[in-house]
Structure 1
C-alpha cells in the first residue's frame, strides 16, 4: 500500500459540476475547467493535480465537491487516486487507580494518521497502463491448505443463493464518473440515501392507500404538495394513482394540472357510481371522469367547477367517490379545503391512512398547520393517531425570492428551519423543500423542477410511503 505522504500543503480543492464545468484551486490559484462531459472535466482536473504531485515528488491531498456531496482523496505523482478517511485510533484500556492512589496524568492523544484506501484510477491517457498494473492481484505465495476429511451433508442444509444483494457501483459525482471510466467506486452516503428513498417509494403495498393533504390556511402549498406526491409515487411505484380535489365547493387542483378531452368532475363520477361499481364495467371506463397527466403518470379528479357554486360535497358523496376510486386505483392523494368542520373534510379524514400537513415558512401558515394538527389530536382515536403519525412538509417562502439579498435568503432558510424544528417533536417526520419558481404558478410538472427540489420531494414522498 502506498505510504501516506500527503500534507496539508498545498491546499487543493476540486469542484466537479454536472453541466460539464469544474474548477481546481491550488493554494488560492483557481484553474477553471470546461469540457464536453463530467468524464472530460475529471480527466483535466486529475491531470492538474497529478502535475502538482509530480512537481513536489509526493502525493497530495485533495478536497472534492460534486453534485453528490464532498469527499477527500489522495493523488500520487503517478496518477493513482485513493479514497482517504481518518483512521480511528486503537482504544487503550486504562485501569482504575488503586484506592488512595493518585491517578496518572492524562496523556495527550496520539496523532491520528490518514488512512488511505487504494483505488487505482486513470489520471491522464498516458497513465492508464500504470494505473491498471497497480490493481491488486491474488497472492500466489499462500500455502495450500491441508484438505479436511469430507463429511457428507444433507442437501437441505445447502443453498447456492446469495444472501445479500451486491451493491451497485456509484453513478453520480466524482465516484460515478470514475466508475464510467472503468474503475468501480462505491456510492457515497448521499447516493445510498437516495437509493433507499427510491426503493421506499417504489414498493407496492396490499390494498389501497389514501393520503390526505390538509392545512386550514389557504396558500400553504396544499395543491403543489398533492401534485408532487402523486407524481413521484406514480412514477416510481407504477401504481395507479389519482389526485382528488376534495374541496367542498371549488378547488384549484384542476388549474395546476392538465385537462383531458372532457370537463367532468367528482360530481359526474358520483352520478355514474352505480355503473362504475358494476362488475361488468371495465377499468378503462374511469378515464371518462379523470384527467390524465401525460408526463407524471397520475390522474386528477377535479372538484365541481360550477360557476354558480351552489353545491357543497357531502359526507355521503365522499364515501361514494372513495368507494369508486379504491376499485380503480391503489393510491389516492386528496387535496382539501380550508374548513376542518366541513362534512366532506371530516369524512376524508375517516378514510385517510396517512396525513400530510404542508406549510410555507410564514408564521400564519405554520400556526394554521399547528391548529389543524391540534384539532385532530383533540378528537382522539383515529384522528389523533393520524396527527401523531403526520408528515409535515415545510416549503421556503416564495415572497419576492428572486430579488432577495443574500442576508434575506439566509433569513428565509433560517425561518424554514425554525418552523421545521418546531414541528419535529410532535409528528413522525418533517421535510424541508427549497424554493423553486416552477412551483409558484402555472401547471406543475416534476421534470420542470430543479434537481435539488426533485431530491427534496423524493425525500418527502419516501417519508409518506413509510407510513403505508
Structure 2
C-alpha cells in the first residue's frame, strides 16, 4: 500500500560513498552529507528524506546509488523503508488476429517472457518477504480424486531443508539499512562477490599446481603469483606455496617477505630425502620456505647465487614438486621467460591449471599468444592446458603516470581490446585495473584498492573453477 501512494514527484536521488560522505538531491537541490561512517551518513540522509515525505503526507520514491550499483526504495513519512518494484508493462494487443475456423478456444498456458521484456531494464532486487500465493489454482471439489495412501520407506523421507538461507546485505545502502534494522537482500554485485568467495574457499581432493607463464618479461607474472596465492590461501585456508621456478634467478623473493634464513629451492632439493622421510615432522618445511605473515602463504625462492652458475633441471623440478605436494595442497609456480628450458617444460607436465598474465601492451599480449600457441601445438596435456587457460589482463602503468584523461581511457580501451582478443581461445579472461601497490616493493593484498582486490578475487575464482 505504501508504494502505491508514492509518486515520482519529487525527484529524489541519494548517493552513499564508501569514504563516509553522501548526497541527497531533492528536485535539483543538493544536500551534502559528511559523517564518521556509512551508517551515520545514511541516518542523516533518511532524516532529510523522511522530512520531505512528512511534509507531503505520503511516501516518496528514492533512487539510490552506492559502490554496488543503483536501486529504488520507498520511504514513508514514519521513516519506514521498503524496496520499490517496477510496474509490469500491460500486455500488447495482437493486431488483426485471425479467428480460428470452427475450433474451440485454446486453453492458455502461462505466458512466456517476451523479447521486449527481456530487453527491458531488470527490476531491482526485491527486499523483504515476498507475498506468498495460496491456492491460486485449487481444483473444484467435485474434481478431486482421492488416491490410495501408499506406504513409503523412511529412507526416502527427510525433514531437512536443503536450500541455503540467504544472508542479508552487508554493503552499500542495503548493508547500512540492514544494520539499522531493515533487513535487505544483497545486490547482484554483492551476490556475485559471495559466489566468487565460495568458489575460492572450496577444498578439493589432492594437491593442485598452477603455472603462471608468459615468455615475455614485464608481463605481470610475479604479481599474479603473489595475488593468486594470497587470495586462495586466505579464503580456502589450504596450505599454499608460491614457487619461483625461474631457470636461474627470479624476482619472486624480491617482491615478498623474507624469513629468518636465506634458503632456496636448491637447499630444498638437497634435503629432499629428509623431507620425504615418513619420520620428518611437517613443520620442518619452514626451514626452506619464507612465510608471508599477512597473506598466509609460503614462498619457495629461486637460487640467488651471485654467480648464477646453476640452472634448474627437469629432474630437480620433479624432486621439488614431489616434496611440495607432500606439505602443500596448492602450488602456484612463477616461471622464467624461456619456454624451451627444461625446467619450464617439466613444470608444464605437473600443471593442473594454466594462467597467462598480460600487461595491456602489444608485445606482452603477442608473447602470451605465442606461449599459448606453443602449448597448443604440442597436443595432449599441453594443448588441453592452453584451451582451459585463464588470461589475466592488467592495465598499463605508463598511462597512469601521465594522469591524462585521454591516456587513461586509451589504457582501458587497450586492455579491453586485448581481453576480447583472447576470449575465444581460452576458458576465461579477467581484467585488472591499475594499482600503484603492485608496481614496486613487497606486494600485500591489503595494500590494494578495493576495486583491485575485487578484480583479483574474480581472477582467483576463475582459476579455482579449473581445479
Shorter chain as normaliser: what TM range?
A: 0.7 to 0.9
CA pair 3-327 structure 1, distance change in 2 beyond 3 A: closer
Q: Distance in 2 between matches of 1:404 and 1:230?
A: 31
Q: Do residues 60 (structure 1) and 57 (structure 2) align?
A: no
Q: Distance in 2 between matches of 1:223 and 1:288?
A: 23
CA pair 3-279 structure 1, distance change in 2 beyond 3 A: closer
1:334 corresponds to which residue? 333
The 5 A counterparts of 1:234-313 are 234-313=233-312
User: Does the CA contact (< 8 Å) of 2:127 and 2:185 recur in 1?
Assistant: no
Q: Distance in 1 between matches of 2:231 and 2:210?
A: 14
User: Does the CA contact (< 8 Å) of 1:67 and 1:173 recur in 2?
Assistant: yes
2:86 corresponds to which residue? 86
1:29 corresponds to which residue? 29
User: Does the CA contact (< 8 Å) of 1:82 and 1:116 recur in 2?
Assistant: no
> Following TM superposition, by how much is the alpha carbon of 1:91 offset from its aligned partner in structure 2, in angstroms?
4.8
Q: Distance in 2 between matches of 1:22 and 1:92?
A: 41
User: Does the CA contact (< 8 Å) of 1:80 and 1:119 recur in 2?
Assistant: no
CA pair 327-176 structure 1, distance change in 2 beyond 3 A: same
CA pair 365-23 structure 1, distance change in 2 beyond 3 A: same
Query: Which sits farther off after the overlay, 28-37 or 182-191?
Result: 28-37
Q: Distance in 1 between matches of 2:206 and 2:128?
A: 47
Q: Distance in 1 between matches of 2:254 and 2:452?
A: 22
The 5 A counterparts of 1:264-413 are 264-413=263-412
- Between Structure 1 and Structure 2, how many residues are aligned? 437
Structure 1 gaps of 5+ residues are 100-108, 121-134, 140-147
> Following TM superposition, by how much is the alpha carbon of 1:17 offset from its aligned partner in structure 2, in angstroms?
1.9
- Secondary structure of 2:285's counterpart equals helix
> Following TM superposition, by how much is the alpha carbon of 1:51 offset from its aligned partner in structure 2, in angstroms?
1.9
Q: Distance in 1 between matches of 2:60 and 2:33?
A: 20
Q: Distance in 2 between matches of 1:116 and 1:57?
A: 27
User: Does the CA contact (< 8 Å) of 2:399 and 2:408 recur in 1?
Assistant: no
> Following TM superposition, by how much is the alpha carbon of 1:34 offset from its aligned partner in structure 2, in angstroms?
1.4
CA pair 313-86 structure 1, distance change in 2 beyond 3 A: same
2:463 corresponds to which residue? 464
- Secondary structure of 2:84's counterpart equals strand
Q: Distance in 2 between matches of 1:116 and 1:18?
A: 21
User: Does the CA contact (< 8 Å) of 1:14 and 1:62 recur in 2?
Assistant: yes
Q: Distance in 2 between matches of 1:459 and 1:159?
A: 36
Q: Distance in 2 between matches of 1:10 and 1:376?
A: 61
Q: Distance in 2 between matches of 1:367 and 1:74?
A: 52
- Secondary structure of 2:2's counterpart equals coil
Query: Which sits farther off after the overlay, 437-446 or 26-35?
Result: 26-35
2:105 corresponds to which residue? none
> Following TM superposition, by how much is the alpha carbon of 1:72 offset from its aligned partner in structure 2, in angstroms?
1.3
User: Does the CA contact (< 8 Å) of 2:72 and 2:124 recur in 1?
Assistant: no
CA pair 117-431 structure 1, distance change in 2 beyond 3 A: closer
Q: Distance in 2 between matches of 1:253 and 1:324?
A: 20
2:69 corresponds to which residue? 69
Q: Distance in 1 between matches of 2:309 and 2:152?
A: 78
CA pair 119-328 structure 1, distance change in 2 beyond 3 A: closer
User: Does the CA contact (< 8 Å) of 1:359 and 1:365 recur in 2?
Assistant: yes
- Secondary structure of 1:70's counterpart equals strand
Q: Distance in 2 between matches of 1:3 and 1:465?
A: 43
> Following TM superposition, by how much is the alpha carbon of 1:115 offset from its aligned partner in structure 2, in angstroms?
9.7
User: Does the CA contact (< 8 Å) of 1:228 and 1:457 recur in 2?
Assistant: yes
Q: Distance in 1 between matches of 2:273 and 2:438?
A: 37
- Secondary structure of 2:463's counterpart equals helix
User: Does the CA contact (< 8 Å) of 2:214 and 2:368 recur in 1?
Assistant: yes
CA pair 157-48 structure 1, distance change in 2 beyond 3 A: same
> Following TM superposition, by how much is the alpha carbon of 1:297 offset from its aligned partner in structure 2, in angstroms?
0.5
* Superposition RMSD in Å: 2.9
> Following TM superposition, by how much is the alpha carbon of 1:73 offset from its aligned partner in structure 2, in angstroms?
1.3
Q: Do residues 97 (structure 1) and 98 (structure 2) align?
A: yes
1:173 corresponds to which residue? 172
Q: Do residues 192 (structure 1) and 191 (structure 2) align?
A: yes
Q: Distance in 1 between matches of 2:360 and 2:215?
A: 15
2:159 corresponds to which residue? 160
Q: Distance in 2 between matches of 1:385 and 1:78?
A: 61
User: Does the CA contact (< 8 Å) of 2:49 and 2:75 recur in 1?
Assistant: yes
